[in-house]
Chain A
Amino acid sequence: MKTVFVDSSVLFSAVNSPIGGSSKIFTLKNVKLVTSRVVLIETERNVRNKLRDYHLERFFMLVEKLEVLKQLPNSQLIKKAKKVIVGKDSVILAESYKSKADFLVTLDLKHFLTGSVARFLRPQKALTPKMLIEMVEKK
């Protein structure tokens, strides 16, 4: 079974809307969704600040469907990530790399779906939820 690292853009969007691709990936079979504590903290912080009370309940409900990896941010890796992506996204990129998942799922195409990020993540691949769904449904 392939493992998929869920980033905070996807988790936040899944909380925000139950009908988008981000929500749909939580219903996929044959993939294992994983994430890190930093992603949970970043998402929760933004859900509390930007969304409504009932979204917080949905956030906790979705987290139950994820495996939360026991990993902590690595400063050296973040430093390396900063060389291939904008500073604001370097922590998440480093977290995804460290997870050793097969895929990183993100909605930030502009910063994550680039050649330099692809080389950094190799063999892990960055995808959008839509791309992941299409890939899984083809099989």
Chain B
Amino acid sequence: MLTYPFNIIPITKARGELGNLAEKVSKGNYIILTKDGSPKVALVDISYLINLENQVKKTYQKTFIDPKLLKYTRKFTEEEVKEWEKEDIL
């Protein structure tokens, strides 16, 4: 039985309860293990981790950038971005 509040547990206390804690994580539920009061690692469901990694990959692999057309584009300056922000206010 878990005796610590919420899903934050010191690593030292988690050692003896690892099996029990592993049962508690599922889908998006996770447990944060702390060391000296600071978050150190998280216990997550493996399917949740794989799904998360796939989502990140998907976002980063997706691109419209075509090296052949890159020469027609330019870098925006900070000044013009600020100017656009002002003009964009409704």
A residues near B (Cβ < 8 Å) are 8-9, 12-13, 16-17, 20-22, 24, 37-38, 40-42, 44-46, 49-50, 53, 56-57, 60, 63, 72-73, 88, 91, 107-109, 128-130, 133
A20 touches B81 (CB 8 A): no
Compute how far the CA of A15 lies from the CA of B69 in the bound complex, rounded to whole angstroms. 21
Compute how far the CA of A1 lies from the CA of B34 in the bound complex, rounded to whole angstroms. 58
Q: A107-B84, A129-B88 are in contact. List 8 more A-B contacts (CB 8 A).
A: A16-B85, A21-B89, A37-B64, A41-B73, A53-B59, A88-B74, A107-B87, A109-B87
Compute how far the CA of A123 lies from the CA of B45 in the bound complex, rounded to whole angstroms. 58
Q: How far is the CB of A28 from chain B (nearest CB, A)?
A: 13
For this complex, into which size category does the number of interface residues on chain B fall? 20 to 34
Residue of A12, A45, A60, A129 with most chain B CB atoms under a 10 A cut-off: A45
From known contacts A40-B64, A41-B64, A108-B84, infer whether A12 and B76 are also in contact, taking CB-CB under 8 Å. Answer: yes
Q: Which residues of A contact B70 (CB under 8 A)?
A: 41, 45
Compute how far the CA of A72 lies from the CA of B70 in the bound complex, rounded to whole angstroms. 12
Q: Which residues of B contact A24 (CB under 8 A)?
A: 90
Indicate whether B62 reaches chain A with its CB closer than 8 angstroms.
yes
Q: Which of A17, A45, A108 contacts B85 (CB 8 A)?
A: A17
A128 touches B87 (CB 8 A): yes
A21 touches B64 (CB 8 A): no
Q: Which of B70-86 contact A (CB under 8 A)?
A: 70, 72-76, 80-81, 83-85
Compute how far the CA of A12 lies from the CA of B83 in the bound complex, rounded to whole angstroms. 12
Residue of B60, B88, B90 with most chain A CB atoms under a 10 A cut-off: B88
Q: Which of B59, B63, B64, B75 contacts A46 (CB 8 A)?
A: B75
Q: Which residue of B lies closest to A37 (CB)?
A: B69
Q: Which residue of B lies closest to A23 (CB)?
A: B88
B65 touches A20 (CB 8 A): no
Q: Which residues of B contact A88 (CB under 8 A)?
A: 74
B88 touches A41 (CB 8 A): no
From known contacts A40-B64, A44-B63, A63-B64, infer whether A13 and B88 are also in contact, taking CB-CB under 8 Å. Answer: yes
Q: Which residue of B lies closest to A95 (CB)?
A: B72
Q: Which residues of B contact A13 (CB under 8 A)?
A: 84-85, 88
